[in-house]
């Protein structure tokens, strides 16, 4: 499995990104570089994270300065709906979990604090999409819907690529029967990405090195690998994963699973001038 993460600084902002793509710019913020105080220290970008509004406004101003324009912020609802960022007169903060564009300089944004931020483009950088992939949205088809919306906007596009940014890792994502059953229709390849707890024999569902004592009826789920599997089945041959776990890196990332009251990072992406 390919892991790609590159640490950069854009002005005073430390960010994480993947490989360079022709005609595309993208990065994921970290928790550093802002003005917030604990537990939102320092670059919280979420308006609904119980932070001071003036701190969030200043943090968003700093992030916007690293992009060519104001991002399209979404009111994410853990669903699978996709917004066309090029449509005129849309809502200021549409309720959706993905957006797409073919317009150079149109900045797309996804906020996360354990869920996966995913960016998708074609080989020539002619169409772009971003998606918020928690387990509900992932099982509900948010990645497939994003790719279909991109194909509808740019039917001739080919050579699809994707990068799955920092999110909860396979050693930290403990889930119950509801999550396992949500991915059961994806078949044995998906179920192999759930590690059962000791005392729950599940032939064919074990992965060495990840089991640890826990409660009966619980599994460790590999959310990035589940996203990679769905992207591959949708037609993206080699999706790249960051390999970065938000839960296990408290100095660099916000994590809702770890801290509950915390901030939000953002993935920003846009097409360059072709």
The predicted-structure confidence for 13-38, as pLDDT tens digits, reads as follows: 999 999 999 999 999 999 999 999 99
Question: pLDDT exceeding 90 applies to what percent of the chain?
Answer: 88
Question: What confidence tens digit (pLDDT) does each residue in 157-211 have?
Answer: 999 999 999 999 999 999 999 999 999 999 999 999 999 854 444 444 444 434 4
> pLDDT class for 214, splitting at 50, 70, 90?
low
Question: What confidence tens digit (pLDDT) does each residue in 68-88 have?
Answer: 999 999 999 999 999 999 998
> pLDDT class for 91, splitting at 50, 70, 90?
confident
Q: Which overall architecture, per CATH, does domain 6-167+230-271 show? A: 4-Layer Sandwich (3.60)
> Which pLDDT belongs to residue 121?
98
Mean pLDDT of the chain, nearest integer = 92
What single string gives the DSSP state of each residue in the chain? --B--EEEEETTEEEEE-S-BTTEEEEEE-S-SS---TTSTTT---TTSS--HHHHHHHHHHHHTTSSS--B-----SS--EEETTSTT--SS-S-SEEEE-STT--EEEEESSSEEEEEE-TTS--EEEEEE-HHHHHHTHHHHHHHHHHHH-TT--S-EEEE-SB--TTT-EE-HHHHHHHGGG-HHHHTTEEEPTT---TT---TT---S--TT-EEE-HHHHHHHHHHHHT-S--EE---BSTT-TTT---HHHHSS---EEEEEEE---
Domain ranges of the chain: 6-167+230-271, 174-221
């Amino acid at each position: 499995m390919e892991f790609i993460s590159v640490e950069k600084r854009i002005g005073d902002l430390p960010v994480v990104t993947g490989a360079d793509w022709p005609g595309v710019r993208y990065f994921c913020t970290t928790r550093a570089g802002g003005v917030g105080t604990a537990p939102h220290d320092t670059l919280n970008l979420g308006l609904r994270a119980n932070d001071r509004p003036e701190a969030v406004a200043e943090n968003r101003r700093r992030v916007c300065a690293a992009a060519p324009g104001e991002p399209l912020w979404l009111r994410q609802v853990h669903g699978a709906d996709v917004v066309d960022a090029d449509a005129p007169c849309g809502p200021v903060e549409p309720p959706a979990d993905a957006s797409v564009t073919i317009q150079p300089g149109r900045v797309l944004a996804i906020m996360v604090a354990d869920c996966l931020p995913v960016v998708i483009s074609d080989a020539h950088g002619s169409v772009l999409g971003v998606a918020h992939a928690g387990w509900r949205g992932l099982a509900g088809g948010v990645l497939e819907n994003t790719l279909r919306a991109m194909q509808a906007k740019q039917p001739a596009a080919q050579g699809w690529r994707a990068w799955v940014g920092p999110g909860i890792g396979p050693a930290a994502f403990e889930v119950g029967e509801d999550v396992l059953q949500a991915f059961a229709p994806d078949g044995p390849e998906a179920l192999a990405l759930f590690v059962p707890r000791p005392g729950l024999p599940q032939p064919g569902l074990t992965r060495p090195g990840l089991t640890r004592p826990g409660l009966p009826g619980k599994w460790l789920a590999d959310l990035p690998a589940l996203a990679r599997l769905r992207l591959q089945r949708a037609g993206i041959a080699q999706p790249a994963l960051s390999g970065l776990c938000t839960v296990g890196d408290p100095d660099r990332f916000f994590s809702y699973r770890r801290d509950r009251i915390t901030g939000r990072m953002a993935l920003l992406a846009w097409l360059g001038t072709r």
